[in-house]
Structure 1
Amino acid sequence: MTDRLTIGVIDPEVLGTYGDTGNALVLSHRARARGIATDIVEIHLDEAIPADLDLYVMGGGEDTAQALAADHLRRCADFTAALRRGRTLLAICASLQILGRSYTDATGREVAGAEVLDISTTPQGHRSIGELVTAPLLPGLTQPLTGFENHGGATQLGPDARPLGRVLSGSGNAADHDGGAVDGACQGGVVATYMHGPVLARNAELADYLLARAVGCEVGDLAELDMPLVDQLHAERVRAAGVSA
């Protein structure tokens, strides 16, 4: 297990609208609490995205910001190839959409995605805004996932992607999967979701899942952390959505 971790924050100038870059701070804090040194590196639109960092985060943004980030990913073939080989990345909302095969923007134009996730997104005709709670479907996660969604996309999963969670409250992908509403998409080392929050501040289990992948161990091998306020926040947000924690 590595004792140093480098976290890349991709395009914070356009994908930082909803505070999702805070996910990198959560990962860094939980790593350092376990004696793992961390470096956070911001990668901007005019820079090549390095393909050899330990862990990456991408956030959400508006339509123009999303298009700029999608173009950036398409120009960074080495990075997207690394994701397909299993590099660990957390993607939120707009980033979920641009990592797919394609997404349709607000003008009805179909935009090519990075083709890292086997998903496609089209407009759903209205915005989904509010608390989102799901029952996790990612192996190793046991607690409900909680976040705040604000999107107008309906994301359909292809056979190579699996959902992050089954919707208990809210909309999520706004497209059924095997007969039920789900949120997010997981494929290889990529975990994507419509949950803002930042999502990792609300969901310590998910943060530790990503950390474990990045440092090369099982979640159970990470030292336990005693952070009652984090647990309290998680429970409060789940209850606020009318779901039993």
Structure 2
Amino acid sequence: MSTSGLRLVWVYPDLLSTYGDQGNVLVVERRAQQRGLRVERVDVRSDQPLPTSGDIYLIGGGEDRPQRLAAERLLRDGGLTRAVENGAIIFSVCAGYQIIGHEFINDLGERQQGLGLLDVISERGTGARCVGDVLGDIDPQLGLPQLTGFENHQGITRIGPAARPLAQVRLGNGNGTGDGTEGAWNGTVFGTYMHGPVLARNPQIADLLVKLTLDVNALPPVDDRWYEALRTERIAAATAPA
């Protein structure tokens, strides 16, 4: 963490910010401020250089063409890769999740190089689009409660040996591979298909990002009543009889 406080970087909001994903940076910002941390938020558009001195980088979802443009510009820029080499944390959603992997299928139907920051490969699914609520059990190594979120994607993402599934789904499709996995993570790099925005529905994940930045095992408690009410509502709606 920089001497000026926690530095959050919202990556390319002009290209990657669908389904309320900007809410993720708002939640991390608020959760950190509630613990008395000074927070500097930096929104970086796709025509601007990406700073390498951020603590947490958040990347949202986007349509196919913006995803291709974002990947091309992030590769040329190189800042996100350098930030990870400096120990930064990445939390990416949907298109952002595919971009930080090795490759994905772009809007032209071509294989496109990703950043290679997470050992995953994405391709275009041939079946029905994955749309709806998801519930899953987060990797026990992370020590977090059940994952809740909303998915809307055609992509299929396969996890390589250098990454672990973020969660095992109980409801929904997740990575779309049929193996019950959702998302992936390794060290300080996280990817998920969950919208919602996912950190509003899972504030403990936001807290995990802050703890990793501070290198601490726990944070002071805060008032979670609003978040828990939202979690309870969405989980109940997802599991209600049709």
Q: TM-score, normalised by structure 2?
A: 0.93
Cα RMSD of the aligned pairs, angstroms, is 1.7
- 2:7 partner amino acid: T
Matched, 1:171 2:173: yes
What CA distance in whole angstroms lies between the structure 2 residues aligned with 1:242 and 1:18?
A: 21
Local SS of the residue matching 2:98: helix
Which has the larger share of strand? 1
- 1:211 partner amino acid: V
Write out per-residue CA displacement over residues 33-55 of structure 1, whole angstroms, 9 at most, x where no aligned residue: 11001111011111221111111
Matched, 1:104 2:105: yes
Percent of matched pairs sharing the same residue: 38
User: Contact 1:20/1:198 (CA < 8 Å) preserved in 2?
Assistant: yes
> 1:13 matched to which residue of 2?
14
Write out per-residue CA displacement over residues 187-241 of structure 1, whole angstroms, 9 at most, x where no aligned residue: 22111100001100000111110111122322x2x10112212111112212222
CA distance 1:68–1:202, change in 2 (3 Å): same
- 2:124 partner amino acid: P
Local SS of the residue matching 2:112: strand
User: Contact 1:84/1:116 (CA < 8 Å) preserved in 2?
Assistant: no
CA distance 1:76–1:69, change in 2 (3 Å): same
Local SS of the residue matching 1:61: coil
What CA distance in whole angstroms lies between the structure 2 residues aligned with 1:235 and 1:19?
A: 19
Deviation of 1:73 (Å): 1.4
Local SS of the residue matching 1:75: helix
Q: Could you list the runs of 5+ residues in structure 1 that have no partner in the other structure?
A: none
User: Contact 2:67/2:106 (CA < 8 Å) preserved in 1?
Assistant: no
> 2:136 matched to which residue of 1?
134
Per mean C-alpha deviation after superposition, the further-off stretch among 138-147 and 205-214 is 138-147
Write out per-residue CA displacement over residues 127-183 of structure 1, whole angstroms, 9 at most, x where no aligned residue: 10000111000523331111110000010000001110001100000114xxx3111
> 2:189 matched to which residue of 1?
190
What CA distance in whole angstroms lies between the structure 2 residues aligned with 1:226 and 1:22?
A: 18
Write out per-residue CA displacement over residues 52-79 of structure 1, whole angstroms, 9 at most, x where no aligned residue: 1111100000001101110121012242
**Aligned residue pairs: how many?**
238
User: Contact 1:101/1:115 (CA < 8 Å) preserved in 2?
Assistant: yes
User: Contact 2:163/2:184 (CA < 8 Å) preserved in 1?
Assistant: yes
- 1:112 partner amino acid: Q
Write out per-residue CA displacement over residues 69-97 of structure 1, whole angstroms, 9 at most, x where no aligned residue: 10121012242133255410110000000
User: Contact 2:89/2:188 (CA < 8 Å) preserved in 1?
Assistant: yes
- 2:152 partner amino acid: N
